Structure 1
Amino acid sequence: MKAITCLLFCCLGSTLLAERVTIRLGTILPSGTAQHQALLEMGEQWRKDSAGGVKLTLYPDGRLGGEAEMVRKLRIGQINAALFSAVGLSEIDPGVTGLQIMPMVFNSWAAVDQVREKMRDRLEQRLRAKGFEVLFWADAGWVRFFSKEPAATPEDFKRMKVFVWAGDQAQLEIMQSLGYRAVPLETTDILLGLNTGLVNVVPMPPLIALAGQMNTAAPHMLDLKWCPIVGAAVVRREVWEQVPAAQRAAIVSAAEAAGAKLRARGREEDEESIRVMRQRGLQVHTLSPEARGEWERLVRDIHPKLRGTKVPAEIFDDVMSEVAVFAATASPAQAHAAAKP
């Protein structure tokens, strides 16, 4: 009898152990931010909903390197999940680039939200075909230009050396083709690059700039919404399939709630970060109508270079079509928000 009891206990224990899943998630999001807290809360909710069967281990602050490096670690199994912007996601599938790297296509969060929802199923299917499940969608503010010297027009920035994310070869080539001196760097090397003169312009969202103290070396910001930072948390499909089917709905629900918090808090912190940096000496330069016209002419040159190269042609066309639909149907409040720089 004791032998039978022992055997049953061992079998039960083995089953429980087999159902435990540890999701190791990397991100460049800074620790201590509201967005980081939302991820911690998601992990705690997973633990409760799965009775300890699903555990989240976070690696924030770019500890595992930039997004290109995290994709490499994802592929070799060092981590099995990551929260990426479109830059990292494009290393898996280029479809998501249509939501981020098309400059000055979006000018309000309402437009981003509407277009993302319209295209969400298709983008998730593309990522699933590459072996990844989307846990939630997120964003992290608008890319602005932080520079060591004042600059307002595209020509002003041609005198400077512009940071681009390491691994983003297409962006590097496009910048160079337009006459810009682009310098690829990992996240951990940006501030050093600013301090040593390796770069003197850093396009990035204010939240990341504040966390990385970029404003101390680049105290000028052009108030131009270049593009939104849009991304998603993804997990390797074989790891996702280890989560018991009965628990997946609760895990997805907690993840989507975290995504909603990340979007809301990220948008608040985007503006709050600018206010904090202004208090610390950041000079914000308003865009004149003439300067805006120069930027609009520049993006008219950039967009054809993106279509069919960095952004799949059908995705590019559909994004432009959906943005046009939004502009034609936007409420007065949405139109007012979209009119801001």
Structure 2
Amino acid sequence: MKRTAVLYTAGFAVAAALFFIAAAHGASGKHVLKIATLAPEGSAWMNLFDEINTDIMQQTDNRVRFRVYAGGVLGDEEDVMRKMFVGQVHGAVVTASSLTRILPDMDVLQVPFLFQNYEEVDYLLSKMDAYFRDSMDKNGYVMLGWSEGGFIRLMSTVPVVTIEDLRKAKVWVWAQAPMTRAIFKEMGVSGIPLSMPDVLVGLQTGLVDVVYAPPAGAISLQWFTKTKYITNVPLMYITGIIIVKKNVFDQLPTDDQAIVRASFNRQQERMKKTVRAENRSALQVMTGSGIQLLEVSKEEIEKFKKITDRAIQQPGSASFPQETLIQVTAHLEVFRKEKP
């Protein structure tokens, strides 16, 4: 009986996997790739993705198209990753911290204060792009492109300009970000874990009074409507990637695979510039609406950096290998020396 149950369960799992793979490949020879993202409908990112989708449909004579579940309708990134693993969606647009189960090295990109500006971001990604794409491929995923997020800042209902201010506050911590949790712990901050779709309610009810996001994200998620202050320190760069399961992508005809890749590559630079411009504009909108921009002393920033350095050295705090951090740091040191 036990053996029968095991065989039944295994058989069901195989059948379910085959069903979801087949769902991407219709009987008419058309392919619908289902992907999920937290990006809201109407955001600059979603508008550009819609253009990419239209371009792909036109070039493939409607043989290939994407169906996007936007705005977190399928849950937070952890939920989306789970659905992707079992085949309920074929791909996702997720931040680097959510990819630790697939490629832990990605999380290195979100070390606080790693980048000083966008020039450094662009340089490093150009150096590491092939490595990340090849590594994703080896792990069973096709990386279609980078998803620009931008530099995050603290946003709050109470002034935050020192580490002591953070210790006294009710600070949100994203459940999918173990490195951030480790840094807050080292800092003596008791973070309040919430999924991203629950943060707005947390602000509305007073459950949290400090959150963090790129400016454009804070506007599209409506967090800015419940905050009074922005701490003017770009803490970390948020990036994500657009991925599709390799066993699904490989079902596309070879020519159509090339069309999909080329379409994303063509729009990559435009997508990056659009999101960066949107972040600059969003910061102006927020300060123009009465939200106060708070400056932080160099001494406090140095304290934060030292705490970060200690935290990411702790076992289990960062998913990426230290060798990857050394490689990334070496690239950035070369760039800083060469920059006039």
* Partner Cα distance (2:78, 2:44) in 1: 24
* Partner Cα distance (1:284, 1:144) in 2: 10
Query: Does the C-alpha gap of structure 1 residues 150 and 251 become closer, same or farther in structure 2, counting only changes over 3 Å?
Result: same
Aligned: 1:116 with 2:120: no
Report the Cα offset of residue 306 of structure 1: 7.6
The runs of at least 4 consecutive aligned structure 1 residues that moved more than 4 Å come to: none
Partner residue of 1:84 out of 94, 109, 131: 94
Query: Does the C-alpha gap of structure 1 residues 203 and 91 become closer, same or farther in structure 2, counting only changes over 3 Å?
Result: farther
Partner residue of 2:255 out of 246, 258, 272: 246
Query: Does the C-alpha gap of structure 1 residues 330 and 76 become closer, same or farther in structure 2, counting only changes over 3 Å?
Result: same
Amino acid at match of 1:68: E
Report the Cα offset of residue 90 of structure 1: 2.2
Give a deviation string over 1:158-211, Cα, whole Å, max 9, x none: 111221222334532442243111111111100111122221111111111111
Quote the residue 2:46 is aligned against.
Answer: 36
Partner residue of 2:59 out of 27, 44, 49: 49
Report the Cα offset of residue 269 of structure 1: 0.7
The alignment partner of 1:223 has SS state of: strand
Amino acid at match of 2:278: E
* Partner Cα distance (1:130, 1:307) in 2: 22
Quote the residue 1:219 is aligned against.
Answer: 228
Counterparts of residues 143-182 of structure 1 (less than 5 Å): 143-182=152-191
* Partner Cα distance (2:245, 2:109) in 1: 22
* Partner Cα distance (2:318, 2:286) in 1: 36
Quote the residue 2:199 is aligned against.
Answer: 190
Partner residue of 1:304 out of 287, 295, 313: 313
Give a deviation string over 1:142-167, Cα, whole Å, max 9, x none: 11001110111222111112212223
- Between the two proteins, what is the percent identity of the paired residues? 26
Give the TM-score, by structure 2 length. Answer: 0.88
Quote the residue 2:4 is aligned against.
Answer: none
Give a deviation string over 1:41-69, Cα, whole Å, max 9, x none: 01001101111100111111111111111
* Partner Cα distance (2:222, 2:59) in 1: 38
Partner residue of 1:26 out of 36, 44, 49: 36
* Partner Cα distance (2:125, 2:205) in 1: 39
Report the Cα offset of residue 133 of structure 1: 0.4
Quote the residue 2:145 is aligned against.
Answer: 136
Show structure 2 runs of 5+ residues with no match. 1-24
* Greater Cα offset, 285-294 or 36-45: 285-294
* Partner Cα distance (2:28, 2:178) in 1: 41
Quote the residue 1:64 is aligned against.
Answer: 74
Aligned: 1:291 with 2:334: no
The alignment partner of 2:158 has SS state of: coil
Contact 2:153–2:231, Cα closer than 8 Å, also in 1: yes
Amino acid at match of 1:72: R
The alignment partner of 1:99 has SS state of: helix
* Greater Cα offset, 284-293 or 110-119: 284-293
The alignment partner of 2:115 has SS state of: coil
Query: Does the C-alpha gap of structure 1 residues 151 and 190 become closer, same or farther in structure 2, counting only changes over 3 Å?
Result: same
RMSD, aligned CA? 1.9
* Partner Cα distance (1:323, 1:304) in 2: 20
Quote the residue 1:337 is aligned against.
Answer: none
* Partner Cα distance (1:145, 1:314) in 2: 29
* Partner Cα distance (2:321, 2:109) in 1: 12
Give the TM-score, by structure 1 length. Answer: 0.87
Contact 2:179–2:312, Cα closer than 8 Å, also in 1: no
Report the Cα offset of residue 103 of structure 1: 0.5
Contact 1:167–1:184, Cα closer than 8 Å, also in 2: no
The alignment partner of 2:148 has SS state of: strand
Aligned: 1:258 with 2:264: no
Quote the residue 2:213 is aligned against.
Answer: 204
Contact 2:178–2:318, Cα closer than 8 Å, also in 1: no
Report the Cα offset of residue 213 of structure 1: 1.7
The alignment partner of 1:243 has SS state of: coil
